[in-house]
Structure 1
């Protein structure tokens, strides 16, 4: 199996830039020079002592010392040579082998086995690294299989969305239209209870159509028209207000705003975000005419938006529940809707890399929703 290679390693700094082989060579060179210098100095000292014509007993003793030093230097030289061979073949070569194997794995060949025979410490280390590599590869394969299954499932969901938007809505339209035609044609022959039943059937078909459309909108976030570019959030708000112009006028709603910035986002989805929040504020209004304010402030590399209204508000204990799909706090006959609006808003915000929450810090009537969106950059503000 070959997948994307790992990023290059960090460059070593300080004394770590020198390979271990060079450290051994440097240490061996210093030891060799010291050994040769010691042998030369010792031989010179013995030669000077012989030149002084010592007594026979002293001369014999110096001869034995001379022989012992020669044997000692020979043993030290043999030990140095043996140590060099041991370091070369028991340390440096296995390290080079393990390094080459690790580089091969890092280059993308994650099926390559890591193994060295010696020394015991490196053999144990290589076995641990190889076990870790094997676990990572196994987990990656499971994740790859799950990703493939997820792609297949998403394809099926897209097919279902297509069916829902076409094949399912057509029978609903027929149910609604033919039921209304039944009422128009035979209305005079029906009693009040029959007309009430017809009303229930038409209302149920229309609510089912609305629910299907809202579910399609929810499923399309991040999948359809998902390109994110530098977008003027003020223009998105203008489009949302144009879409709601009739509702705003009928309810005498007043919408105020700060100067809205440019953000990194999708124009259609941001328009839908503003539209859902304003429509939600109008729906849950109090007896007074709705007053809505769209505010914004900078928070690091994000813009923090807010939507405040003077409506009936939301109790703090429902701050998380209102963002769940199909969760309603009021009966359908009091406040219409499918219970998807705020869930859709949060999904749009999270798709853009932000967060959305209900602000309970402001006292008084109404509700304040806050959300963050990534700034487009100082050059584009």
Structure 2
């Protein structure tokens, strides 16, 4: 603003000085023509008036510059410096400018915004402290669940089975059925506790995120499922899989849950699972397709909710946590997981994205199981 003011003022001053100089030259030319004495007197007065006008103009320019400098530019610079101080982290400083009134009002608005940001920041700190406390309680619950809760369940299942073995010949079919229900309930409770523990650990595991070979994570998952795949006569094939930025243990768990679901919800034909990955917008998009019973599009969101089941437990066993756990793992890695209800062919296709590790393209070697 000061530079533009100086440029415009200088331009106007130069134009006025040029006009005065031209006028003075004309007056000198008139003097050279030796006009009548009274004309010379008027010309001299005109010359003096032009000089006085030039001095007044210069004085007015200096005064105007000082007014703009100290009434406008200096308060603006002061306010800008105070705002930079607050932006640098001194949130307790209150920006304040007394004059002019417009800048005083602006400084008041800036200070009100600072107060709101400071209140929100302190509220966020309180929430973070509460979240840390809640996480501590969750970790304590996880410890209790993994030890104190599972031990009684193991005893219930163990002693109920011993009861059946020792007194089975004295029990009728109804009593044996009751024993079966007790053992099955204890085992399902153990499975539910383990799944809840896995769900609660996502985002709290040690190790952080590092470059991980997705192919190695898939191989580890298939090794864990080797008995299940062999019993079902299932085959799992994979295209070239890249290196991604993530946690290897959780990515293994992600592949394991998706492949296990594909085998569990199979149709009459032997399960066939295909896993692929393509690069899209700086992320790797994975796809897991199967030839199973499929999922209707209207359930595309419901299946990712915890404890949500589409089938009775006696038809397809499970706790209803698997897909919720998969989505939580993908969310923790900064990607997203969804059901591709437009995929061609039978079965279901799940797609998810993971951040690229910034390494070379994946190899052309696939996986078969």
Q: Does residue 300 of the first structure (1) align with residue 277 of the second (2)? A: no
Q: How does 1:113-124 map to 2 (within 5 A)?
A: 113-124=94-105
The residue number in structure 2 matching 1:97 is 78
Deviation at 1:207, TM superposition (A): 0.9
Whether contact under 8 Å (2:243, 2:359) holds in the other structure is: no
Q: Is the 8 A contact 1:225 1:266 kept in 2?
A: no
What's the counterpart of residue 123 of structure 2?
A: 142
- Tell me if 1:212 matches 2:164: no
Q: What is residue 355 of structure 2 aligned with on the other side?
A: 374
Distance 2:2 2:44 in 1: 40
Structure 2 CA distance for partners of 1:181 and 1:96, relative to 1, 3 Å: same
Tell which deviates more after alignment, 25-34 or 122-131: 25-34
Q: CA-to-partner distance for each residue in 1:318-354, whole Å, 9 max, x for gaps?
A: 1111111100111111111100111111111222222
Please state if 1:240 is matched with 2:221: yes
1:29-73 CA distance string (max 9 Å, x none): 445555555555555554554455432322332344344334433
Once superposed, what is the RMSD of the aligned Cα atoms? 2.3
Select 2:306's aligned residue among 308, 325, 335. 325
> Whole-Å Cα distance in 1 between the matches of residues 357 and 48 of structure 2?
85
CA displacement at 1:364 relative to structure 2: 4.1
Structure 2 SS opposite 1:338: coil
Offset at residue 138 of structure 1 (A): 1.8
Instruction: Determine if contact 2:17/2:54 at 8 Å carries over to the other structure.
Output: no
* Matches of 2:228 and 2:347, distance apart in 1: 19
Q: Which of 222-231 and 271-280 deviates more?
A: 222-231
Residue equivalent to 1:162: 143
* Equivalent residue for 2:316, pick from 335, 342, 348: 335
SS at match of 2:97: coil
Query: Which segment is superposed worse, 152-161 or 110-119?
Result: 110-119
SS state of the match for residue 293, structure 1? strand
**Partner SS, residue 330 of structure 1:** coil
* 8 Å contact kept, 2:71–2:99: yes
Seen in structure 2, the aligned counterparts of structure 1 residues 74 and 256 have a Cα distance that, compared at 3 Å, is: closer
Deviation track 1:123-174 (CA, whole Å, cap 9, x = no partner) reads: 2322222222222222222222212211221121111111111111112112
Residue in 2 aligned with 1:4?
none
Shift of 1:376: 2.3
Distance 1:205 1:365, change over 3 A: same
CA contact (8 A) 1:117 1:123 kept: yes
* CA drift at 1:285: 1.3
Q: CA deviation at 1:176?
A: 1.8
Write the distance in 1 (CA, Å) between the matches of 2:6 and 2:290. Answer: 77
Change (3 A) 1:363 1:55: closer
Cα distance per residue 1:157-210 (max 9 Å; x no partner): 111111111111112112222222333333344333333222222211111111
- The answer (yes or no) to whether the contact 2:161–2:179 under 8 Å persists in 1 is yes
**TM-score, length-normalised on structure 2?**
0.89
Matching residue of 2:332: 351
Which 5+ residue runs of structure 1 have no aligned equivalent?
Answer: 1-19
CA contact (8 A) 1:306 1:370 kept: yes
SS at match of 1:231: strand
Is structure 2 residue 277 aligned with structure 1 residue 310?
no
Bigger shift: 68-77 or 129-138?
68-77
Q: Match of 1:65?
A: 46
Quick one: structure 1 residues 119 and 243, their matched pair in 2 at CA, closer, same or farther if it must change by over 3 Å?
Answer: same
Structure 2 unmatched runs, 5+: 363-369
* SS of structure 2 residue aligned to 1:370: strand
> Which range is displaced more, 153-162 or 58-67?
58-67
| Aligned match for 2:248, one of 267, 276, 279 | 267
